[in-house]
Amino acid sequence: MTGGRDPKGWRRLRDHLSLPLFRNAYFLILSSGVGSVLGFPFWAIAAHLYSTRIVGLAVAAVSAMMLISGIGQLGMASIFARYLPVAGARTRRFIVSTYLGTGALTLALGLLAAWTSHLWSPPLRFLGADAGWFVLFAAATVTWTIFTLQDSVMTGLHETRWVPVENAVFAVAKLVLVVVFANVAHSAGIFLAWIVPGMFLIFPVNLAIFTRFLPRRAKSTPPAEPAWTSVEMRKLIGGNYVGSLSAFVATLLLPVLAANEVGASAAGYFYVPWTIMLGVVLVAANMSTSLSVETALGESELREHTRNAIAAILGILTPAVLVIFVFAAQILSLFGPEYERHGTWLLRILIIGTFPEALTLVGLSLARLRHDGRLVAIAQIEFAVITLGLSALLLPRIGIIAAGIALLIALFVEAGLMTPTLAHALTRVSPSAPDPPARPADEAGAIADG
């Protein structure tokens, strides 16, 4: 510093972080980064302390639990980001009713999945045959549902700074418990280490949500009736669930499809580039979530927020994509020469796809702002159909690179579907007058009823 004044670069950074759009997005990106960084040593430690068989069964059980939870969450994470910032007096009821509804659904699905495990996964048949595992697996699906949704609740209430704190505690607790349980509950140790921290964290986190965050939000936000009808909200929830479920299933099935069509080894060569791409896409996903929260408060700054979000995403993605594209071979060589030989061009193709995917994620946030559940559903169904359909057609003919080509085509088509929504937001003239008043109370649907 000179003359007691901050450098211009520091002032610009401070001004940049003072904007909720960026500040909240970076908290979410930090949270994702913490989970990714600490997730690697968890599995490395598990591989050293547990047998290969137990590690494989734990991976399968955790994946099944997360799949069932994802189905039972009804896509409400993005719905929370859309409606919680403007829910007003109905916020508490909205959160409680969502917790109860998704919790009951995932409990039923978890019990059903455990009971029928001998049918859909013979190696996991112990989930239904052993009473302890039966109860644990069902409880785990409910826990993971609430644990996941509470992050979206904190984000929607503008308490995003607590999300990376919570996930850091969760990640560190997993590392400790995977060591502890190796000696006291070896066969179930990895699964317990994964889920027990979440079981304990949902209580203090939700205590903070209902006793501190909600009252603080109520004081800072003037009461108002929602500016949408219950019909609009139900249409968005329905379309969003169908779309998000389609994309979710496609994301999970693509590695499985690769394994079925070209073999387990080739699927492994696909999975590493695929994971790298998904990690980079988290930047756009978190920025889009922040955009949903900020634009939910009103469309008066829609164009500015949208431009800022896209500029920030491209500012982070462009150098990252360039580095990964140029050094793809060197990156994959860290996993072994076979990964480098089979996956280099696949990684390059996949990493290019992060650009259309980023625009799509922003477009989906804007579509939710307009209650356009139909567009949300159509875009993500298209993604799933093209990705899985083209992959199934091309994988036997040209190998794992086919999955990358199919995914890239699907992402560009999906971004094309989002183009009118993006163009509308980017060219929209901000009104000089305040936003129009909300609909009268008798015309507006209560959130809890939606």
pLDDT, average across residues 201-222? 88
pLDDT by residue (tens digit) across 364-376? Answer: 999 998 889 999 9
* Lookup: tokens for 314: 């491209």
Q: What is the pLDDT of residues 36-74, one digit of tens each?
A: 777 778 877 887 888 878 887 887 888 889 889 999 998
pLDDT digits (tens, 9 = 90+) for 289-334: 888 888 876 666 788 889 989 998 999 999 999 999 999 999 888 7
- Would the pLDDT of 139 be above 60? yes
Put simply, whether the predicted model's pTM sits higher than 0.95 gets the answer no
Structure tokens given for 203: 């209580």
Better-predicted residue by pLDDT, 204 or 54: 204
Cα–Cα distances (Å) from 47 to 52, 53, 56, 62, 190, in that order, read 7, 10, 10, 15, 10
Distance from C-alpha of 181 to C-alpha of 190, rounded to nearest angstrom: 7
Q: What is the mean pLDDT of residues 274-292?
A: 87
Tell me the residue type at 297. L
- 427 has a pLDDT exceeding 50: yes
What integer pLDDT is reported at residue 18 of this predicted model?
A: 66
Report the C-alpha gap between 354 and 356 in whole angstroms.
Answer: 6
Domain boundaries of the chain, sorted by first residue? 20-227, 229-428
* Least confident interval from 2-16, 58-72, 226-240, 254-268: 2-16
pLDDT at position 5 is 55
Q: What is the largest CA-CA distance in the chain?
A: 74
- Cβ proximity of 86 and 226 under 8 Å: yes
Highest mean pLDDT among 82-96, 140-154, 323-337: 140-154
d(CA 285, CA 360): 10
> Residues 326-344: what's their mean pLDDT?
86
In 3D, which of 244, 266, 248, 246 has the Cα closest to residue 257? 266
